[in-house]
Amino acid sequence: MTDEKNLTIQDIAEKAGVSIKTVSRVFNNAPNVRQQKRDLVLGVARDLGYRPNVSARQLASKRSFVLIHFYDNPNMDYLSGIYDGMREACSEKGYYAVAERLSSQNHSYKDSLLDYLTRTPVDGVILSPPISDDKAVIREIEKRNIPCSLISPGIKKRSCINVFIDEKTAGRKMTEFLIERGHTKLAFISGLDTHTASAQREAGFWSAIEANELQCNDMVRIGGDFSRQSGFAAFETLSKSKSKVTGVFAGNDEMAIGTIIAALRAGMKVPEDISIVGFDDSAFARSMWPPITSLAQPIEEMAKLSTQKLIDWIDTKERAENHFEFPTKIMVRDSCP
């Protein structure tokens, strides 16, 4: 609306009849300002459409107002979900969201992270898997006293903010979804054993089997590694086994895709002959043919809350609650309708 030339604190101070320092205090939520003045200043600022000058703030306060998300995950869908959530939270509070890729392929990636931190002033860090599991990295960040948020960490850290889903419950929910649809002979394709979340999903699988009093002997457990290839291989294993599996729970979408392709090549119809569900709700899964029923986590909201809590921590210099669990949702599609 009213976008005049650039206003300064000075302008607000004059109009409100207070000192510039008081205005500054109001905008920083600093203590020791009478509520009455606070409201007055806020009112004037709103009327005039004042926006603080970030560079000046940075220069004077030696804060950067930059939060950085370190990732090493080729899944663009997941990343952009995180970025969007981060950005939303940041723009509310006048912070900047930056994303930086660290390739864990590169064995010195820890060094490049530390390099980055010393080179560029950063007020807070967000880590996503698999980096959120790297203790050495987390320790270095702690050492520098930089507030840190972990997204879906394998092990929750007291010293960080943790946002996550309950992987075991999610695995169980997915399994029960298959059972409800009449499948009694199931297969579980696991991910890498080193991946905590995968093990938890599997635990959920078995707990559903037990709770529904199905025969463990009717189940097939196939070891995969999250790759499409391993989903492919899993189907081979499956077709050689004597047990007549009708429902497959793949530990992630890539393996589900591999399994479906293998099934189609073998002349089977999905879902008529065999139903397959995945995990992650990836873009590939959505546009696969047939589209894959998959488990979705509210990654954008998770990133947003994680960022908000991180900013609170930075601004107030104290961390309150730091464990936040989010609900999951099954996206029902044609691969298991």
Partner DNA sequence: AAGCTGTTTGACAACGTTGTCATTTTTCGT
Partner DNA sequence: ACGAAAAATGACAACGTTGTCAAACAGCTT
CB of 243 to a second copy, least distance (A): 26
Position 37 contacts DNA (CB under 7 A):
yes
32 binds, among a second copy, DNA, none (CB under 5 to 8 A by kind): DNA
Q: Of the listed pieces 59-67, 126-134, 198-206, 296-304, which binds DNA according to CB under 7 A? A: 59-67
The whole-angstrom separation of Cα 177 and Cα 295 is 11
**Which DSSP string do the residues of 18-34 spell out, in sequence order?**
S-HHHHHHHHTT-SS--
Burial group, residue 255, by CB count within 10 angstroms (0-12, 13-18, 19+): buried
Choosing from 15, 25, 201, 304, the residue that interacts with DNA (CB under 7 A) is 25
Q: How many CB atoms lie within 10 A of CB 264?
A: 14
Q: Which is nearer to a second copy, 56 or 211 (CB)?
A: 56
Interface positions, 62-91, toward DNA (CB under 7 A): 62
21 binds, among DNA, a second copy, none (CB under 5 to 8 A by kind): DNA
Position 311 contacts DNA (CB under 7 A):
no
Position 130 contacts DNA (CB under 7 A):
no
CA dihedral 276, 281, 284, 290 (to 10 degrees): 40
Position 15 contacts DNA (CB under 7 A):
no
CA dihedral 43, 46, 50, 51 (to 10 degrees): 110
CB of 37 to DNA, least distance (A): 4
Q: How many CB atoms lie within 10 A of CB 50?
A: 21
Position 217 contacts DNA (CB under 7 A):
no
Query: What distances in angstroms separate CA 309 from CA 15, 73, 194, one per listed residue?
Result: 34, 23, 29
Structure tokens at 65: 């107002």
CB 127 within 8 A of CB 138: yes
Query: What distances in angstroms separate CA 82 from CA 60, 164, 166, one per listed residue?
Result: 30, 13, 18
Position 53 contacts DNA (CB under 7 A):
yes
Position 291 contacts DNA (CB under 7 A):
no
CB of 161 to DNA, least distance (A): 22
Q: Which is nearer to DNA, 39 or 236 (CB)?
A: 39
User: Which residues contribute to the site for a second copy (CB under 8 A)?
Assistant: 3, 51, 53-56, 58-59, 76-77, 80, 118-119, 228, 261, 264, 283-284, 287, 289
Position 60 contacts DNA (CB under 7 A):
yes
Interface positions, 316-335, toward DNA (CB under 7 A): none
